[in-house]
Amino acid sequence: MTIGERIGFVTLATTDSYAAGALVLARSLRQTNTVAGLVCLVSSSISEGTRTRLESEFDEVVVVDVLNSNNDAMLTLLKRPELGVTLTKLHCWKLIQYSKMVFLDADTLVIQNIDDLFERDEISAVADCGWPSCFNSGVFVFKPSIDTFNDLIEFAKNEGSFDGGDQGLLNDFFSDWSTKSIDRILPFGYNVHAAATYAYVPAFRRFKDQVKVVHFLGSTKPWSSKNPPQGEFSQFWQLWWSLYESNSKQNSKNDSISQKTSS
């Protein structure tokens, strides 16, 4: 990135549970001394108290439409109610006050500084463990742009999503991800899928120092229970809880360097 360009991490929370994830994610990012701004997209359904807590951790909390019947263009999509949350994620492309951003799912935890991601181009992401010629949409580098946002919405309307979620949509939209450039295929360490079914334990141990982002994908999230599932990822589950229970005052956003770079 060039000096003076604004960079930021952005996540999304449409419920109070996912907001807990977003909160911990922000704390984990602060601990890595990131110089980027932190943005949380929320829906208006989030409680007032939750929103206040998010505001104390993030630089910006942006309320976005759930893209429902208010919007004529979305009427077609109402036949696909599961796409609601998906489309809400797409709002991140509208954050054009930033020149480059990294989207992180609210169920991710950052272990090591990942500011080097801002040197990558749209769209850079990690292979999905289920079908590695697709990328996992829990972590991706993108360039905010109203044009791209509109194209994405149009694409969603016309094509739908092959998996009913944002991942299917984004993979069909950015369909050359796996063939265009090696630089767009991020090392697995940037989005380590913490799901026991995927674990290749010897590789996990061999490349442990390369784990930068842990992604609690699947239906069991850290906020659902204090007891970690068995296996290699229990340590990260515990780390999630210790960050969740830590006092937010020590994570003052006023110390963040993001404001220095945002001028």
Ligand X SMILES: O=c1ccn([C@@H]2O[C@H](COP(=O)(O)OP(=O)(O)O)[C@@H](O)[C@H]2O)c(=O)[nH]1
Q: Which of 8, 21, 138, 228: binder of Mn ion (CB under 5 A)?
A: 138
Beta bridge partners of 12: 41
Angle separating helix axes 48-57 and 16-31, nearest 10 degrees? 10
Q: How far is CA 16 from CA 19, 127, 228, 244, in A?
A: 5, 29, 21, 14
Binding site for ligand X (CB under 6 A): 11-15, 18, 82, 85-86, 89, 105-107, 138, 217-218
Among 46, 77, 126, 217, binds Mn ion (CB under 5 A): 217
Among 138, 144, 168, 222, binds a second copy (CB under 8 A): 168
**Closest CB 69 distance from a second copy, rounded Å:** 12
Site for Mn ion in 49-68 (CB under 5 A): none
Binding marks (x or -) toward a second copy, 61..100, rule CB under 8 A? -------------x--xx----------------------
204 sits near a second copy (criterion: CB under 8 A) = yes
107 touching Mn ion, by CB under 5 A: yes
**Could you tell me which of 34, 24, 38 has the C-alpha nearest to residue 103?**
38
C-beta separation of 24 from 245 below 8 A: no
- Report the nearest approach of ligand X to the CB of residue 3 (Å): 30
* Candidate segments 4-12, 89-97, 100-108, 156-164, binder of a second copy by CB under 8 A: 156-164
178 binds a second copy per the rule CB under 8 A? yes
Please tell me the distance from the alpha carbon of residue 226 to that of residue 240, in angstroms, as a whole number: 9
Site string for a second copy, 110-129 (x = CB under 8 A): ----------------xxxx
Provide the pairing of β-strand 192-193 with 135-142: unpaired
How many residues of this chain interact with Mn ion, rule: CB under 5 A? Answer: 4
> Alpha-carbon distance 49 to 46, whole Å?
9
Q: Are strands 108-110 and 213-215 parallel, antiparallel or unpaired?
A: antiparallel
* Cis-peptide, bond into residue 114, ω within 30° of zero: no
46 contributes a contact to a second copy by CB under 8 A: no
* Residue from 189, 213, 222, 262 binding a second copy (CB under 8 A): 189
User: Which residues is 101 bridged to in the sheet?
Assistant: 8, 142
Residue 16 identity:
D
The 8-class DSSP code of residue 14 comes to S
Of 107 and 128, CB closest to Mn ion: 107
Tell me which of 119, 180, 225, 255 binds a second copy, using CB under 8 A. 180
Question: What amino acid occupies position 178?
Answer: S
Residue at token pair 């054009």 = 96
Of 18, 103, 188, 223, the one binding a second copy by CB under 8 A: 188
Residue 218 interface partner, choices a second copy, ligand X, Mn ion, none, CB cut-off 5-8 Å depending on type = ligand X
- The CA–CA distances, whole Å, from 64 to 46, 54, 86 equal 11, 15, 13
